[in-house]
């Protein structure tokens, strides 16, 4: 899966996508696949990664010596992760300037080294890379007996690595004496057994590194517009155009989710919890701390999910959904609702890829449900897995609202968001401050990404230039505690999650279907009349979702934002013009910053 923030290294992927399969692979050239649901997922060799399986008895010294020889070969960089070390895998990412054939030949030569047991396949699946190891997740039918399960495993000469303590009839198995590629065929045979729901490789999933869009230094000046009565006192609120767009900065007035009007109706309440299923949330952030409940780390099974210093994505998502409101910093749409941070992945260095597993993600989703999260906010996607699909089913069956980012490829809606046609989840596309669908040429100037679109989009929401929380101090995206420029369907998703939480606070018994219907039917129709593939049922309107009166016009006793714009003095108009010009300058500058930003 990928973080749906500001696009991915798609260009890099495309660079290599047209090369044919290269010689030197140690495994069968027969088309590899695995089954997800009833669908055969074809496995095509990755052009970016190769993996070498070390012999289990390799000494530390021998391993170090081998790694030196890999470095010396100069064909690829070694990816690091405790997960890879645990599997005894040396993972190589192709070095810039090395051709696919040279890469394959170089790896083949290295695989002849004494400490190497085999070369393991790495496959490209729907935008991510999946490394095959000799481990498989087998789910037997709920009514399968121990004898039946044992018979299936014995017939395949499979051995049990671990028994899942939370999920009945679920095992991790391996096939002793087999290469990973041979084991895949055996797993596929097991998958066809009528007592088996699925047998899926325990892939190590490599999520492309995502570009960072850093805007260092001071935040842009907040427009000097008085807040309407009832709006929060957070000093950065006036820069959160997505909550209340006055039109005095970039964009147009009311291209927003009508947050102040929603808050006139409800702040939500602290019994409602949004799980941020991501790379961890900084729980000590002053604008999040009071909101945090029962953090969980699915990457190691404990409750310490604090993000790595460079992993700012989860903290940014959390602030949009439900930052502490009416205090410092930014406001969160879910004013009084709480946040459950759930870490499902992390990168091992700044700008590095996520190296994770579907089993971790499954555990993260299920644990969020078991710990009582009402809304699950998922700003990632890519790949395909029974484990994740069944975890989503589990969440929905337990009446949880599941929100997924559509993706940032300016293409079809990615998995799992694209399951919204068969599962009651909410797939979210992105808009900008002009209420345009986010494309590479929309007025926001972020030319390097466009929102995904298609019939699976349920709703759209703002997803550019999102002011939100950042890991404190120099860590995270920005030098301070806030980030002015978070983006992607990643950022639109927690906004929808925040609105869903407000709806649930008003209607505690509502099913995911009712919540989704309410968000859809109350959205502001944009683009082509009625449902369309870009905006879905429309752009989120949190006020209308609560059944509020959502008139941006001036309340009787105060100046509304519109009112102020309409009664500007010439001096104010000049100030606003200057702000507008500075905003335009920043917009023009951003793509340049993006291009020079380190991408790996």
Q: Where does this chain touch Ca ion (CB under 5 A) — which range of 210-218, 286-294, 457-465, 579-587?
A: 286-294
When the beta carbons of 297 and 470 are compared against Ca ion, the nearer one is 470
Which of 87, 193, 285, 313 is labelled catalytic? 313
The SS3 call for residue 365 is helix
CB of 405 to Ca ion, least distance (A): 20
CB of 516 to Ca ion, least distance (A): 17
Binding to Ca ion (CB under 5 A): which residues in 321-360?
323-324, 327, 329
Binding to Ca ion (CB under 5 A): which residues in 532-561?
532, 535, 552
- Measure the CA–CA gap between 336 and 377, rounded to whole angstroms: 17
Nearest alpha carbon to residue 351 among 397, 308, 407: 308
Instruction: Let me know if 474 is a catalytic residue.
Output: no
Instruction: Let me know if 490 is a catalytic residue.
Output: yes
Task: Return the residue of 148, 185, 189, 254 that touches Ca ion, per CB under 5 A.
Answer: 254
DSSP code, position 101? H
When the beta carbons of 450 and 527 are compared against Ca ion, the nearer one is 527
Kindly determine how many residues on this chain lie close enough to bind Ca ion according to the rule CB under 5 A. Answer: 18
The SS3 call for residue 334 is coil
- Locate all alpha helices (DSSP H) within 251-312, ordered by sequence: 259-265
When the beta carbons of 298 and 406 are compared against Ca ion, the nearer one is 406
Answer whether 513's CB lies under 8 Å from 397's CB: no
Task: Return the residue of 251, 314, 476, 488 that touches Ca ion, per CB under 5 A.
Answer: 476
Task: Return the residue of 79, 135, 234, 279 that touches Ca ion, per CB under 5 A.
Answer: 234
C-alpha angle 60-357-359 in degrees, rounded to nearest 5: 120
B/e letters for 26-44, b = 16+ CB within 10 Å, e = fewer, are: bbeeeebebbbeeeebebe
| Beta strands in 383-523, from DSSP E residues, in sequence order | 401-405, 425-431, 459-462, 466-469, 482-486
Task: Return the residue of 516, 527, 544, 546 that touches Ca ion, per CB under 5 A.
Answer: 527
CB of 385 to Ca ion, least distance (A): 32
C-alpha 108 chain-centroid distance: 34
CB of 506 to Ca ion, least distance (A): 19
Binding mask 188-227 for Ca ion (x = CB under 5 A): ----------------------------------------
Which of 197, 234, 256, 278 is labelled catalytic? 278
Binding of Ca ion by 79 (CB under 5 A) = no
Instruction: Let me know if 313 is a catalytic residue.
Output: yes
- Measure the CA–CA gap between 292 and 308, rounded to whole angstroms: 18
When the beta carbons of 54 and 324 are compared against Ca ion, the nearer one is 324
Exposed, middle or buried, 58 (CB in 10 Å: 0-12/13-18/19+)?
middle
Which of 239, 379, 490, 583 is labelled catalytic? 490
When the beta carbons of 45 and 541 are compared against Ca ion, the nearer one is 541
Binding of Ca ion by 282 (CB under 5 A) = no
Task: Name the one residue in this structure whose structure tokens are 């170090």.
Answer: 64
Residue 264: what are its φ and ψ, rounded to 5°?
Answer: -60, -30
Task: Return the residue of 119, 258, 297, 409 that touches Ca ion, per CB under 5 A.
Answer: 258
SS3 for 10-40 is HHHHHHCCCCCCCCCCCCCCCCEEEEECCEE
Can you spell out the DSSP letters for 173-240? EE-TT--HHHHHHHHHHHHTSTTEEEEEE-PEEEEPP-------SSPPPPP--PPPTT----TTGGG-
Binding mask 456-475 for Ca ion (x = CB under 5 A): --------------xx----
CB of 243 to Ca ion, least distance (A): 8
- Measure the CA–CA gap between 136 and 199, rounded to whole angstroms: 6
Can you spell out the DSSP letters for 425-449? EEEEEEE-TTS-B--TTSTT--TT-
Can you spell out the DSSP letters for 544-556? HHTT-----SPPT
When the beta carbons of 91 and 333 are compared against Ca ion, the nearer one is 333
Answer whether 76's CB lies under 8 Å from 94's CB: yes
CB of 306 to Ca ion, least distance (A): 14
Nearest alpha carbon to residue 408 among 1, 5, 103: 5
Exposed, middle or buried, 567 (CB in 10 Å: 0-12/13-18/19+)?
exposed
C-alpha angle 513-456-212 in degrees, rounded to nearest 5: 110
When the beta carbons of 193 and 215 are compared against Ca ion, the nearer one is 215
When the beta carbons of 9 and 262 are compared against Ca ion, the nearer one is 262
Binding of Ca ion by 256 (CB under 5 A) = yes
Binding to Ca ion (CB under 5 A): which residues in 142-181?
none
When the beta carbons of 384 and 560 are compared against Ca ion, the nearer one is 560
Binding mask 358-397 for Ca ion (x = CB under 5 A): ----------------------------------------
Task: Return the residue of 287, 362, 409, 446 that touches Ca ion, per CB under 5 A.
Answer: 287
When the beta carbons of 171 and 535 are compared against Ca ion, the nearer one is 535
Q: Which are the catalytic amino acids?
A: 278, 313, 490
By the criterion CB under 5 A, which residues form the site for Ca ion?
A: 234, 254, 256, 258, 287, 323-324, 327, 329, 470-471, 476, 478, 525, 527, 532, 535, 552
């Amino acid at each position: 899966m990928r973080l749906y923030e500001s696009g991915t290294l798609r260009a890099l992927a495309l660079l290599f996508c047209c090369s044919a399969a290269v010689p030197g692979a140690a495994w069968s050239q027969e088309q590899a696949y695995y089954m997800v649901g009833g669908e055969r997922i074809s496995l095509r060799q990755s052009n970016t990664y190769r993996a070498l399986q070390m012999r289990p008895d390799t000494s530390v010294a021998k391993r170090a010596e081998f790694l030196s020889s890999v470095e010396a070969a100069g064909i690829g960089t070694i990816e690091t992760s405790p997960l890879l070390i645990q599997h005894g895998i040396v993972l190589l990412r192709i070095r810039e300037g090395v051709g696919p054939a040279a890469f394959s030949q170089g790896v083949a030569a290295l695989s002849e080294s004494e400490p190497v047991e085999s070369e393991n396949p790495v496959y490209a699946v729907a935008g991510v890379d999946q490394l095959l190891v000799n481990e498989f997740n087998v789910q037997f039918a709920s009514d399968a007996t121990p004898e039946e399960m044992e018979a299936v495993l014995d017939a395949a000469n499979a051995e049990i690595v671990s028994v899942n303590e939370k999920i009945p009839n679920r095992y991790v198995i391996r096939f002793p004496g087999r290469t990973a590629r041979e084991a895949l065929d055996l797993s596929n045979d097991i998958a066809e057994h009528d007592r088996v729901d699925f047998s899926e490789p325990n892939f190590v999933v490599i999520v492309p590194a995502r570009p960072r869009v850093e805007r260092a230094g001071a935040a842009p000046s907040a427009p000097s517009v008085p807040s309407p009565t009832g709006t929060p006192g957070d000093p950065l609120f006036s820069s959160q155009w997505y909550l209340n767009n006055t039109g005095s900065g970039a964009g147009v007035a009311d291209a927003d989710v009508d947050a102040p009007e929603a808050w006139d109706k409800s702040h939500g309440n602290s019994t409602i919890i949004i799980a941020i299923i991501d790379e961890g949330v900084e729980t000590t952030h002053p604008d999040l701390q009071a909101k945090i409940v029962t953090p969980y780390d699915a990457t190691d099974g404990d409750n310490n999910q604090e993000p790595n210093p460079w992993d700012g994505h989860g903290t940014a998502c959390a602030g949009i959904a439900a930052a502490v409101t009416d205090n410092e910093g930014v406001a969160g749409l879910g004013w009084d609702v709480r946040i459950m941070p759930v870490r499902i992945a992390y990168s091992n260095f700044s700008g590095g890829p996520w190296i994770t597993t579907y089993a971790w993600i499954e555990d993260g989703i299920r644990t969020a449900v078991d710990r009582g999260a009402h809304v699950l906010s998922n700003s990632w996607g890519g790949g395909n897995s029974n484990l994740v699909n069944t975890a989503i089913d589990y969440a929905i069956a337990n009446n949880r609202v599941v929100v997924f980012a559509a993706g940032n490829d300016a293409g079809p809606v990615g998995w799992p968001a694209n399951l919204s046609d068969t599962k009651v989840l909410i797939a979210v596309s992105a808009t900008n401050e002009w209420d345009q669908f986010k494309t590479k040429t929309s007025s926001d100037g972020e030319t390097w990404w466009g929102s995904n679109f298609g019939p699976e989009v349920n709703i759209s929401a703002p997803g550019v230039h999102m002011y939100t929380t950042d890991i404190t101090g120099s860590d995270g995206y920005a030098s301070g505690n806030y980030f002015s420029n978070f983006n992607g369907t990643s950022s639109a998703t927690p906004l929808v999650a925040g609105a869903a939480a407000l709806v649930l606070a008003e209607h505690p018994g509502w099913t995911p279907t009712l919540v989704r219907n309410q968000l859809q039917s109350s959205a502001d129709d944009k683009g082509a009349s009625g449902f369309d593939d870009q905006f879905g049922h429309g752009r989120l309107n949190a006020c209308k979702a609560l059944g509020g009166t959502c008139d941006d016009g001036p309340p009787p006793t105060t100046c509304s934002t519109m009112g102020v714009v309409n009664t500007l003095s010439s001096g104010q108009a000049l100030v606003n013009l200057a702000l507008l010009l500075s905003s335009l300058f920043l917009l023009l500058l951003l793509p340049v910053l993006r291009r020079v930003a380190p991408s790996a």
